[in-house]
Amino acid sequence: ERYHTAARLFRPGRRVVAFTGAGISVPSGIPDFRSASSGLWNTFDPMEVASLTAFRERPQAFFDWLEPLTGQIFQASPNPAHYALAQLQSSNRLETIITQNIDGLHQKAGASDVIELHGNMNHLVCLTCQKIEKVDDYLDRWLKEHILPVCPRCGAFLKPDIILYEEMLPVDAWEQAEFSCQQADVILVAGTSLEVMPASSLPLEGFQKGAQIVIMNLTPTFLDSVAEVVLPVDVAKGMPELCRQILA
**Residue 151 engages Zn ion in binding (rule: CB under 5 A):** yes
Give the integer Cα–Cα distance in Å for 170 and 20.
17
Q: Which residue from 5, 8, 68, 129 is in contact with Zn ion, where contact means CB under 5 A? A: 129
CB within 8 Å of 217: residues ≥ 6 apart: 23, 189, 190, 191, 192, 193, 230, 231, 232
* Contact set for ligand OAD, span 169-188 (CB under 6 A): none
Q: How far is the CB of 11 from Zn ion (least distance, A)?
A: 51
Site for ligand OAD in 17-46 (CB under 6 A): 21-23, 26-27, 32-35, 39, 46
According to DSSP H, which parts of 91-135 are helical? 105-108
Helical H segments across the chain, by residue range: 2-9, 40-43, 46-49, 52-57, 59-75, 80-90, 105-108, 136-145, 171-183, 201-208, 235-247
Residue closer to ligand OAD, measured from CB, 93 or 118 = 118
The site partner of 153 among ligand OAD, Zn ion, none (C-beta below 5 to 8 Å per kind) is Zn ion
State the catalytic residue, choosing from 4, 118, 123, 146. Answer: 118
Binder of residue 191, out of Zn ion, ligand OAD, none (CB less than 5 to 8 A by kind): ligand OAD
Catalytic-residue membership of 118: yes
- Shortest reach from residue 152's CB to Zn ion, in Å: 8
Q: Of ligand OAD, Zn ion, none, which one does residue 128 interact with (CB within 5 to 8 Å by kind)?
A: Zn ion
Three-state SS for 18? strand
Query: Which residues does 207 contact at the CB level (< 8 Å), separation at least 6?
Result: 187, 213, 223, 226
Alpha-carbon distance of 46 to 61, in angstroms, equals 11
Nearer to Zn ion, 5 or 128 (CB): 128
Distance CA 50, CA 65 (A): 8
Q: Which does 85 bind (CB under 5 to 8 A by kind): Zn ion, ligand OAD, none?
A: none
Give 5's contacts (C-beta < 8 A, 6+ positions apart): 228, 229
Binding site for Zn ion (CB under 5 A): 126, 128-129, 131, 151, 153-154, 156
Binding site for ligand OAD (CB under 6 A): 21-23, 26-27, 32-35, 39, 46, 50, 100, 118, 163, 191-193, 195-196, 217-219, 234-236
